[in-house]
Amino acid sequence: MISADSNPARPRPLPILIVEDDEALREALVDTLGLAGYDVVEAADGEAALAQLERHRVGMVVSDVQMQPMDGHRLLLEVKQRHPYLPVLLMTAYGVIDKAVAAMRDGACNYITKPFEPEVLLAQVVRHMLPAVHGDDDDVVAEDPATREILELARRVAATDATVLITGESGTGKEVLARTIHRHSARASGPFVAINCAAIPDNLLESTLFGHERGAFTGAANAAPGKFEQAQSGTLLLDEVSEMPLPLQVKLLRVLQEREVERVGGRRSIPLDSRVLATSNRDMAAEVAAGRFREDLYYRLNVFPLHNIPLRERPLDIVPLARRVLARGLGRGQKASHRLSEAAEAALTGYRWPGNIRELENVMQRAMILAPGSVIEPSHLALPRQEAVATTEAASPVRTEAPPRDLRSLERQHILETLAACGGVRRLAAERLGMAERTLRYKLQTFRREGYHVPPGGGSDDTADASGPES
């Protein structure tokens, strides 16, 4: 592997896997990418490429089409089956472009025709490469394929200005994911401002969000901008937005609709240029149905839903996360010197982690204190009995269905949640979703055939779903 020099303060690009059976061309490609600052992993054929993917996390695959015994098209299908969101760029000779076009229908990000200039390859890498790995403490550990898929969705939506609603259990790292979206957005150079809607008293939340003028209320000796103004040209995170009181939800909705804010006690509207992200550990559709969260605000925030999966569903991340805590040490200048035994790693992986990453960090800090030497054993982890975990999980309102990890699943979740919030009324749900009612009925019929529960129609709307989409 060629390793490019990098500034530790800057994000480190993921390696690029080059698959080319022509040794001279492969060396030229490696040199081109190496000189541009990329790490490179090499493979001479498809089987070797798949083996490299088992050993290395890469940000992109660049493969020749004409190879033996596994050609580039077959390699593409194998990569997409194992790593659905990994970009694959194909290199093809002029005479076999038709194969490259067919491969794009099967998930290739693009193709380039041989011979090509280095700038052509580098432009494709910049356009399609997965996000760089950041070295700060807020970075997402993404060794598990499920986490990588969530990160790829985050990268895609980061390139837009769409509002994102991140849901997931407490302690799964929703704010970390929000920061990742900000870092990979066009607003990365602007501020990232977070406000915990559950941690601020109701009587202070409005002025904290929107700001206030001097004399607006007792104690307002000076005018002060709110979080929305502080996030100008950047990103505002509404953490645990489901805890916001209903009267304030009305004002928040107006701000999001009008893209302007008026300070408490003020008469002047201030134009806003900030992106809004929101998080919640609750089932938002259920909160809407129960009347605790405004339906119109929910749809304003839920433009692009992301579900951050719990730690138990990303087992390959558990040990790397634990090692990261160990690498930090106990702070106050203490040198990080602990390591996990194989038995301790097995115990960590076998535990269900109802408290998710936050619980894992606490367990590892406690283990560093309890361990008399440098090696942490299972007894130092002091993990609770699994029976107690099962009781906790049974009492917690967590999803029983696997969280969505692709765009089709996200669409299905969004449609079914909208339908539930509309009491099963197809006509109303179709209006909320912005699609034809017949199209909605066709999608519902498809979901039902796939084994998903579709709420029955409400009232007079309780009719059979359409047999085909709108033409």
Which residue, of 241, 275, 307, is where some domain finishes? 307
On whether residue 88 sits in a domain, the answer given is yes
- Do 149 and 293 share a domain, yes or no? yes
Which range, of 135-139, 269-273, 385-389, averages the lowest pLDDT?
135-139
**Residue among 139, 153, 125 nearest 12 (CA):** 139
- Do 120 and 267 share a domain, yes or no? no
- Do 200 and 303 share a domain, yes or no? yes
pLDDT of amino acid 177: 93
- Do 224 and 337 share a domain, yes or no? no
On whether residue 395 sits in a domain, the answer given is no
CATH number at residue 339: 1.10.8.60
* 326 close to 364: Cβ distance less than 8 angstroms: yes
Which range, of 36-40, 165-169, 280-284, 465-469, averages the lowest pLDDT?
465-469
Which residue, of 292, 307, 322, is where some domain finishes? 307
pLDDT of amino acid 398: 38
Range of the domain at 333: 311-389
CA-based radius of gyration for the chain: 25
On whether residue 438 sits in a domain, the answer given is yes
On whether residue 329 sits in a domain, the answer given is yes
CATH number at residue 429: 1.10.10
Task: Give the DSSP H/E element, type plus range, for residue 29.
Answer: helix 23-35
- Do 214 and 293 share a domain, yes or no? yes
Instruction: Tell me the CA end-to-end span of the chain in Å, nearest whole number.
Output: 52
Query: Both tokens of residue 184?
Result: 């990979």
The arithmetic mean of pLDDT across residues 33-41, rounded, is 91
pLDDT of amino acid 464: 53
The arithmetic mean of pLDDT across residues 157-163, rounded, is 93
pLDDT above 80 (res 336):
no
pLDDT of amino acid 256: 95
On whether residue 136 sits in a domain, the answer given is no
- Do 46 and 122 share a domain, yes or no? yes
- Do 339 and 284 share a domain, yes or no? no
The arithmetic mean of pLDDT across residues 248-275, rounded, is 93
pLDDT above 90 (res 469):
no
- Do 202 and 154 share a domain, yes or no? yes
Q: How many domains, in total, are found in the chain? A: 4
The arithmetic mean of pLDDT across residues 187-196, rounded, is 91
**231-245: per-residue pLDDT in tens?**
999 999 999 999 999
Q: Write the burial class of residue 8 (CB in 10 Å: 0-12 exposed, 13-18 middle, 19+ buried).
A: exposed
Provide the pLDDT confidence category of residue 160 given band limits of 50, 70 and 90.
very high
Query: Both tokens of residue 440?
Result: 């909605």
Q: Is the dihedral of CA 81, 82, 85, 89 positive or negative?
A: negative
pLDDT of amino acid 17: 96
Nearest-5° Cα angle at 355, 382 to 323: 60
Provide the pLDDT confidence category of residue 5 given band limits of 50, 70 and 90.
very low
The arithmetic mean of pLDDT across residues 272-296, rounded, is 95
- Do 239 and 345 share a domain, yes or no? no
One-letter amino acid identity for 14?
L
Provide the pLDDT confidence category of residue 180 given band limits of 50, 70 and 90.
very high
Residues 6+ apart with CB under 8 A from 433: 414, 415, 418, 440
**Residue among 65, 66, 63 nearest 52 (CA):** 63
pLDDT of amino acid 14: 80
pLDDT above 90 (res 387):
no
- Do 62 and 182 share a domain, yes or no? no
**365-384: per-residue pLDDT in tens?**
999 999 888 999 999 999 98
pLDDT above 50 (res 8):
no
The most confident of the ranges 126-140, 206-220, 263-277, 329-343 is 263-277
On whether residue 375 sits in a domain, the answer given is yes
- Do 102 and 119 share a domain, yes or no? yes
Percent of the chain scored above 70 by pLDDT? 83
Cis check: omega of the bond before 225, within 30 degrees of 0: no
CATH number at residue 68: 3.40.50.2300
Q: Is the dihedral of CA 274, 405, 418, 291 positive or negative?
A: negative
Work out the mean pLDDT of the chain and round it to a whole number. 83
Higher pLDDT, 130 or 91: 91
The arithmetic mean of pLDDT across residues 145-154, rounded, is 87
pLDDT of amino acid 68: 87
The most confident of the ranges 100-104, 200-204, 221-225 is 200-204
pLDDT above 70 (res 9):
no
CATH number at residue 170: 3.40.50.300
Query: Both tokens of residue 118?
Result: 């280095």
On whether residue 166 sits in a domain, the answer given is yes
pTM here is 0.58
Which residue, of 245, 273, 307, is where some domain finishes? 307
**421-459: per-residue pLDDT in tens?**
777 888 887 777 777 788 788 788 888 887 788 877 754
On whether residue 79 sits in a domain, the answer given is yes
Percent of the chain scored above 90 by pLDDT? 46
Burial 227-253 (b: 16+ CB within 10 A, else e): bbbebbebbbbbbbbbbbeeeebebbb
pLDDT of amino acid 98: 67
Q: How far apart are CA 241 and CA 81, in angstroms?
A: 36
- Do 291 and 317 share a domain, yes or no? no
